[in-house]
């Protein structure tokens, strides 16, 4: 799929998925797209846990049975960041930004390959879910899961949520025009 078509078609999908596993080859292509994202100082702080074992997917879905999105997922990519800079580092710390860049690359790759997903971040920040899912996935204590991408082949087609027109969000030369 052409890049601008993928940007246009990417949307947050929270509906049911087809009962079809996502081949590892596709999961690796998606994560490779994340790995190729830019990062501050090229520090490449984001790491990834690719989950395709049904028992582990079930354990994560059981963290919040009200969240149907996780129950639908055929696979899941957990994006992990250090909690803070390395001790003694004088560099600025860009763990969150690095992770966000990787996530957007992966969402576009997911779209281009015909899968659907949603950026789960707020959900992790509540009720200690980042810690609970981190324990399930063996994430070390000095790292944290920033984003979960549940994915699969969508049962139905949806559209990207509407965006404000460009002239309300972008201007040449001066903010506000
Ligand atoms: C930083 C961030 C956090 C998000 N957290 C959640 C979340 O916890 N749960 C969820 O269902 N969607 C979450 N989303 C998805 C947004 O709700 C979604 O991107 C937005 O409504 C726009 O829709 P679109 O993705 O179709 O353009 C998050 C998106 C971002 C960028």
Using one digit for the tens of pLDDT, what is the confidence trace for 6-41? 999 999 999 999 999 999 999 999 999 999 999 999
What pLDDT sits at residue 126? 96
What pLDDT sits at residue 60? 98
What pLDDT sits at residue 1? 87
Between CA 56 and CA 59 the distance in angstroms is 5
Separation of CA 88 and ligand 1 centre (Å): 34
* HSE-CB for 55 with a 13 A CA cutoff: 1
Closest Cα to atom 10 of ligand 1: 120
In sequence order, the 6+-apart residues with CB closer than 8 A to the CB of 36 are: 105
Between CA 45 and CA 84 the distance in angstroms is 10
What is the pTM (predicted TM-score) of this model?
Answer: 0.97
* Residue 170 lies inside a defined structural domain of this protein: no
* Residue 91 lies inside a defined structural domain of this protein: yes
Which atom of ligand 1 is closest in space to residue 124's alpha carbon?
8
pLDDT over 90 (residue 114): yes
* Residue 166 lies inside a defined structural domain of this protein: no
CATH number, domain with residue 64 = 3.40.109.10
pLDDT over 90 (residue 152): yes
Strand 75-82 with 116-117, pairing: unpaired
Closest Cα to atom 1 of ligand 1: 121
Count of domains forming the chain? 1
- Sign of the CA dihedral with 157 first, then 18, 32, and 1 last: negative
């Amino acid at each position: 799929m052409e890049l601008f078509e993928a940007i246009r078609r990417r949307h947050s999908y929270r509906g049911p998925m087809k009962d079809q596993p996502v081949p590892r080859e596709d999961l690796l292509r998606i994560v490779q797209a994340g790995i190729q994202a830019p990062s501050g100082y090229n520090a490449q702080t984001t790491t990834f846990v690719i989950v395709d074992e049904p028992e582990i997917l079930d354990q994560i879905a059981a963290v919040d049975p009200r969240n149907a999105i996780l129950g639908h997922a055929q696979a899941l990519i957990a994006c992990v960041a250090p909690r803070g800079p390395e001790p003694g580092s004088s560099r600025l710390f860009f763990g969150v930004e690095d992770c966000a860049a990787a996530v957007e690359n992966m969402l576009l790759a997911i779209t281009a390959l015909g899968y659907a997903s949603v950026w789960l971040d707020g959900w992790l920040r509540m009720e200690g879910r980042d810690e609970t899912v981190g324990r399930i996935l063996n994430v070390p204590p000095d790292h944290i899961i920033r984003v979960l991408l549940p994915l699969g082949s969508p049962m139905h087609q949806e559209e990207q949520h509407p965006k404000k027109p460009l002239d309300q969000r972008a201007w040449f030369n001066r903010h506000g025009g």
